Amino acid sequence: MTAERFRLPVGKAARALAYDSEPVATHDLFPGAQAPHPDFLARAAIWRDQAAGLISIVEAKRRSENVGRAEVAKTERKAAPPRPRHRRPAPNDSRQYAQPMSTTAARDDRLTPNAKAFLQVLRARCGKGRETTITKGTAGNIMARSPRTIRRYLVDLVRFGYIELSTRCNAQGLHLGLTVKLTALALPFFEDAKSLARWLAETPAALFRPFAAVFDPGKEGVTSLSPKNQTQTISSYGNRKKADASRSTARERLLRRLEASFVPLS
């Protein structure tokens, strides 16, 4: 009778329902259904605000996509097992070594310790030169860090003037990696001609330090023996006498050679 009742016109149907004393049974299509998920309710509230004109459709899409992400991130962060530093795996065996480099970066408090270590690895990859090519993924595998962390190291090293970066491309213009060039701050002072000349100008006595043990400034034209050429002390008297004789003979031979090679200026 219910199906026939709704086929009647609206006025007749209303009067029939008013005089009908029989209760209408309602049947739930999903008897075991639960309440809607909180994420569904949050997205529904966002789109209601968009329909009411409170927010734009772009903002509604952004909020709808971010619903539930914070809870998932917190759950994943808590699920990660703790890993103390002393239990991390040891590095792989390698014969790589770094050439001489300046200690300026090691004493720079603006850099993190890992950035300083990464600069040493870059110096080792450069070998005897000043440039090397690398990718952030390869550097991340070497340093056991993510490419994003390697990017922060590179940004700090470029900002404080230790390296120069340029993008490496092929003939088609595709990016193949990064070209790292070390600056004078990371290299030793003697590899820069200007720094070496400045050091020699500031300390002229350094030129004569290797010959200080040979030439006696108090006796011009006379060569004295170096302490390295002196024989060791001998306990027996006979051996000591022979050593003194051989020493005097060598001194006389050297003096005769100097006199023979002397040419007067007049």
- pLDDT averaged per 10 residues, the chain (length 266): 50 50 56 75 89 87 81 60 82 88 93 95 92 93 93 95 93 91 90 74 60 49 55 52 62 70 56
Give the pTM.
Answer: 0.48
| 39 touches 64 (CB < 8 A) | no
**Alpha carbon distances (Å) from 72 to 39, 78, 146, 161, 234:** 12, 10, 21, 40, 83
148 shares its domain with 207: no
184 and 210: one domain? no
Select from 188, 216, 239 the last residue of a domain.
188
CATH number of the domain encompassing residue 124: 1.10.10.10
Q: Whose CA is closest to 132, among 84, 67, 60, 182?
A: 182
Considering the domain architecture, whether residues 221 and 183 belong to the same structural domain is answered as no
Residue 121 maps to a domain: yes
Position 26 scores a pLDDT of 56
Q: And the tokens for 76?
A: 């994943």
Look at residue 71 and tell me if it is in a domain: no
Residue 150, classified by CB atoms within 10 Å of its CB into exposed (0-12), middle (13-18) or buried (19+), is: buried
| pLDDT at res. 198 | 76
Q: What is the pLDDT of residue 72?
A: 59
pLDDT of residue 262: 56
* Long-range Cβ contacts of 206-211 (<8 Å, 24+ apart): none
Tell me the residue range of the domain where 128 lies. 113-188
pLDDT tens digits along 60-86? 888 888 887 766 555 555 666 777 888
pLDDT of res. 6: 47
User: How many domains does the structure of the chain reveal?
Assistant: 2
Both 121 and 172 in one domain: the answer is: yes
Residue-wise pLDDT for 210-254, tens only, equals 544 444 455 555 555 555 555 555 445 555 555 566 666 666 777
Assess if residue 26 is contained within a domain: no
